[in-house]
Amino acid sequence: MILYGYGIELVRLQQEHLELVRTHRNAENVNRFMEFREHITEIMQQEWFQRINNRNNNYFLIRTAEKFVGLINGSEIDWQKKETRSGGIFIWEESYRNTDIPLRASLLLTDLSLVMGLERTYARILRDNFSAIAFNKQLGYILEPGQEEIYNQQYVLHKDAYLKKTARLRAYLNKKSPTPFRCVLTNVHDDSEQWIATHYKTLPTELKSQMQLEYSF
């Protein structure tokens, strides 16, 4: 699966990407921002992938200028409650960290969530990761009650807050990089892609009109 929008691409994480992600996830310039900081082995990475490679977890590589620069996720999706219990992003190419690429990626994945009917996304951010806190507040995330003394704090993003907070920004980026919002399904055997193809057919016309769904298999 590949998402197109805001001038970038999000490519769903596959088996062949695991070593690339593991190498960068273990790097000090990424690891120090994570709650889990132990060295990740090949076996650990494979076991993790087996757990998350399904319709309830969206992990995408961020691609720009034909280069993978980071990873973004919306995971532990509860389709009945219409919420994503965990979200996160990390950019391993340092030259892209202070650009608008992380923002574009976050907007693109959140837009997919909304089109698919989800209404809330939760994220945990370390209390001293001030840049990540500022970044998420820009999207409309707010700190959950009772989190002030917790180190790994929980934030929540509601659909209405996201649409209001990012309206001008999304309009600006769409004008700057007018890439149609498309979801291209590439693997007929993938559980998550089968789910999206089936679920998309049941969506109201209003939601369907917000994203083009295409098939390349």
Domains of the chain, CATH where assigned: 2-215 (3.40.630.30)
| DSSP-H helix ranges across 27-166 | 28-31, 42-52, 101-115, 130-139, 159-165
Helix (H, G, I), strand (E, B) or coil at 115: helix
Q: What's the pLDDT at 78?
A: 96
Q: Write the CB contacts of 41 (distance below 8 Å, at least 6 apart in sequence).
A: none
- Is the pLDDT confidence value at 14 over 90? yes
What does the DSSP assignment read for 20-57?
A: HHHHHHHSHHHHTTSS--SPPPHHHHHHHHHHH-STT-
Which pTM value belongs to this model?
A: 0.92
Cα 151 from Cα 109, distance rounded (Å): 26
Q: What's the pLDDT at 194?
A: 92
Q: What's the pLDDT at 141?
A: 96
The mean per-residue pLDDT over the stretch 71-97 comes to 95
Helix (H, G, I), strand (E, B) or coil at 149: coil
Q: What's the pLDDT at 32?
A: 85
